[in-house]
Structure 1
Amino acid sequence: MQAYLEAKRTVDDRALNRRVLDQFVAALTARNGPVSVVELGAGVGTMLVRLATWGCLPERVSYRLVDRDAESITRARDLVPDELENAGYTVRWRDDRAAESATLVATRDSTGEFTGGNCRERDETPGPLEYTDAVPATATTSATASASATTTPTTLTITFTTADAFEIEAQADAVIAAAFLDLIDVPAALESIETLLEPGGVLYAPITFDGGTGFVPTDPLDRDIERCYHHHMDEIRDGGSSRAGRELLTTLRRRDWETLATGGSNWVVRPACGDHSGADEAGSPGSPGSHTTHYPASEQLVLEHILHTIDDALTAVPAVMTPFSTAEQEQWHDQRRTALESGMFGFVAHNLDVLARCGPTVSGQS
């Protein structure tokens, strides 16, 4: 699982809706003094690393990663400091890194334009696989155009906690729930999140699955496979929904939250094609100008995990509820595995990014 969480980092990088992310950054920078962030279902810490390396965090941040999976938190304690050091941070452990709630302090002097709404480096262009409706990271706003060059020290105080997300005691300016709310009961989750947020605090819930699963190349069984896979999410799996994104928007409105921004953040995982001369990435010789396919970064591992997850889910659906036989399911899976191994398999999932603020009734503000 930890390898999968690391491998999907580049997929999430492409998918994140930049407009919603910019609004989240603006909400953080609008808070007075040090900003406290709690991330629920934090996994191996890739969201924190992303926000820190993209320059999305204010000058002083207290960031708490919470996950009930001890192995993920253990991996986060190794991954986060290494990644932050690579990004130019100086890191030190305040106490024993193996402690129950180990604390890491990371500092960096950043020189450049503070954009407040454009989280990547100014000269970084979107990657070639950015297919979502996200606003390109290079887009500028009036705020970015008027920003002046500054040297800004950034201090991150990071704690790593193994615990159930909704059994912790904390008060935060922001709660992050990335690729998480589609795995649990949304109304119950929001009720718990309300107790974590300071008045006027915000919830940032990117990569929330919302009812679309597709495959390339297409197959006549795809629609039935998708329906049964989603049925497993809704009726058999312990918690979660195949329509969590729209359910989240509905529940926010019912609980008097203010939805600040929302947008699509579709996963698109497919092989990258290119002309290569000499040896390809696998080390195989090729003639000049030969056409090869490969998956970016470690994204083949992501696809392997997805196929395994779908296969397990379909196996758990009672046979009387599937419009295909076990043999047909196995054949579909084998064909997808063959396509993956030959660099011909692609996957699409529809997600929503949501940013919302507690309303007066919820937060207790007058």
Structure 2
Amino acid sequence: MGGFRRTALTPAVDIPFHDYLEAKFALDERSLNHEVRSEFARWVFEQPRLTCLDLGTGTGASLQRLLSLPTNAHLHITAVDRDQALLDIARAGITNLLRQKGLGVAEKADGVCARQGQREIVVEFVCSDLRHYQPNRAPGFYDAVIAHAVMDLLPLRTMAERIARWLRAKGVFYSTINYDGETALFPVYADEVLENRILDVYDTSMEQRRIWDENSGGALAGRRLHSVLCETGFEVIAYGTSDWNIIPSRRAYRDHDATCLAALLNMIRNEAERSGQFSGDSLDRWYRERSERLAAGELGLIVHQIDLFAQKI
């Protein structure tokens, strides 16, 4: 883990999405629920062979964590994302990670193949929107499906039913950093009512999100996912909080937390602007004050999230 450090970040500058994903790796790493993660790691350790599907791969955070678990299993991983640029970043990162681990890595048209003695690791990268994605495998092919910080963007029941079809009997689903209904900023803003309205609009924007003509997981995705899994043929083995705590210490932020906080502040501001519910002056004052707090190392943020580990019955 990195230590706390000061930042010269200019908060008002929009942060490219891939930079935000890379910046929040350490934050997510600190935030993942230890008990839920341990259950998944224990299950992985017991598998001699493992076929895994990673939904919404992004820049490869879940792949890196999976490949860092203590296991000698043969691995075949399918990594899916709709953004080829993100998959290219993920592929480069995974290739470097495997080489750092001392494996012989061969590049393939659709991914990488690595060997160490008799052990083989294959990672296949697929660029596809999840709406249209169908594995080029028979139903029940996968031992595990993983999804990191993506289920709030998807229709939960539709995805749970698909995941159940893709998994073998007793296969598992590990879903992490599922937003669950609360974002809090510190210290309290002078106009507390205004800030509460801004944060309510932020959550409401998630609740109103439609995908594939269905409601997405939305602002309560964590608890809703728990319910949906129980209704679609899964037993939830473990679940718990994975809250983000972006808290400065002595006016310094840990790891790349300042970048994450700047990006989140921009997301909140943009949703407030889109809502049309706020005067330009009041929103500008709020954003300027919060940005100044961030630049001074005084702004904190806590986000409530839930991790789940479930097994197909």
1:181 aligns with 2:195: no
State how far apart, in whole Å, the 1-side matches of 2:72 and 2:36 are: 17
User: What amino acid maps onto 1:334 in structure 2?
Assistant: R
Alignment check: 8 A CA contact 1:89 1:106 kept = no
Q: 2:106 maps to what in 1? A: 93
Residue 276 of structure 1 corresponds to which residue in structure 2? none
In the TM superposition, what are the counterparts of 1:1-366 in structure 2 within 5 Å?
A: 1-31=17-47, 33-53=48-68, 55-86=69-100, 88-95=101-108, 99=109, 101-105=110-114, 107=116, 155-166=120-131, 167-169=133-135, 170=137, 171-219=141-189, 220=192, 221-236=194-209, 238=211, 239-273=216-250, 293-317=251-275, 319=276, 322=277, 324-359=278-313
Change (3 A) 1:64 1:229: same
Contact 1:37 1:62 in 2 (8 A): yes
Whether the 8 Å CA contact 2:98–2:105 is kept in 1: the answer is no
Cα offset for 1:104? 3.3
Aligned residues: 285
Q: Given residue 306 of structure 1, which amino acid in structure 2 is its aligned partner? A: L
* Contact kept in structure 1, 2:209 and 2:218, CA below 8 Å: no
| 1:116-148 deviation per Cα after TM superposition (whole angstroms, max 9, x unaligned) | xxxxxxxxxxxxxxxxxxxxxxxxxxxxxxxxx
Identity %: 27
CA contact (8 A) 2:217 2:224 kept: no
Structure with the higher fraction of residues in helix conformation: 2
* Cα shift at 1:348: 1.0
Q: 1:306 Cα shift?
A: 0.6
CA contact (8 A) 2:99 2:105 kept: no
Q: Deviations over 1:271-313 (max 9, x none)?
A: 233xxxxxxxxxxxxxxxxxxx322222221111111111111
Separation in 1, partners of 2:289, 2:127? 39
Structure 1 residues 211 and 255: alpha-carbon distance in aligned structure 2, compared to 1, 3 A threshold: same
Query: What residue ranges of structure 1 are gaps of 5+ in the alignment?
Result: 110-152, 274-292, 360-366
Ranges in structure 2 where 5+ consecutive residues have no aligned partner: 1-16
Q: Deviations over 1:297-353 (max 9, x none)?
A: 222211111111111111222x3xx4x433212211111111111111111110000
Question: Which whole-Å CA distance do the structure 1 matches of 2:72 and 2:53 have between them?
Answer: 15
Structure 1 range deviating more: 233-242 or 186-195: 233-242
TM-score, normalising length from structure 2? 0.85
Which 4+ stretches in 1 moved above 4 angstroms?
none
Q: Structure 1 counterpart of 2:95, which letter? A: P
Query: What is the identity, as a one-letter code, of the residue corresponding to 1:337?
Result: S
Q: Give me the whole-angstrom Cα distance separating, in 2, the residues matched to 1:315 and 1:241.
A: 19
Q: Computing the radius of gyration over CA atoms, which structure comes out larger, 1 or 2?
A: 1
**Highest relative contact order (Cα 8 Å, sep 6+), 1 or 2?**
2
Aligned-pair CA distance for 1:161: 1.5
Residue of structure 1 equivalent to 2:13: none
For residue 297 of structure 2, give the secondary structure of its aligned residue in structure 1: coil
